[in-house]
Amino acid sequence: MNKFILFLFSLTLVSCSLKKEIGAVKHTHLPRPIGPYSHSTNYGDLIFISGQIGLDQKTNSIKPGIEAQTVQIFENLKVILENNDSDFNHIVKTTIFITDMKQFEMVNKIYSRYFNNRFPARSTVEVISLPKNASIEIECIAVKNK
């Protein structure tokens, strides 16, 4: 029992001595943020990705229609994940904000194309409106690909 307590104490000391900082990645090939926020921040191996709307990287304008917006969101997420040493297989949680729940099945069809073996935990919320009159916004939490 004493060895176990000593082990836990040692483990606690080691984990407290590891300095972790909140970081923000400078992303390239993404539309400019539309407000005072980072596309992503990280803490240790956790990656927090801000809600993404279907903004085109080249024109910084919203794609027309929910289908094109959803595809563009996933392409933007792909860049953010890569810049954070991660990928879709390392997303643990997504939250989808959608302005018309009648579009839910179409969003699911596109969403399922981006995940291989496992789907992350997910919430979907219908909202009245989104920035730039977008039809959909997706945010997520991922871990680094070790």
List, in order of start, the domains of the chain with CATH numbers: 21-143 (3.30.1330.40)
DSSP state of 62: B
> Sheet harboring 46-52: ordered strands across?
22-24, 40-43, 46-52, 136-143, 91-98, 121-126
pLDDT single digits (tens) 57-102: 888 899 999 999 999 999 999 999 999 999 999 999 999 999 999 9
Write the burial class of residue 32 (CB in 10 Å: 0-12 exposed, 13-18 middle, 19+ buried).
exposed
> What per-residue confidence (pLDDT) applies to 11?
47
Structure-derived torsion over alpha carbons of residues 28, 30, 34, 35, reported in degrees to the nearest 10: -40
pTM of the predicted model, to two decimals? 0.84
Q: What are phi and psi of 11, to 5 degrees?
A: -60, -40
Whether the Cβ atoms of residue 87 and residue 80 lie closer than 8 Å to each other: no
User: Span 12-19, mean pLDDT?
Assistant: 54
pLDDT of residue 35: 79
- Please state, rounded to an integer, the average pLDDT across all residues of the chain: 87
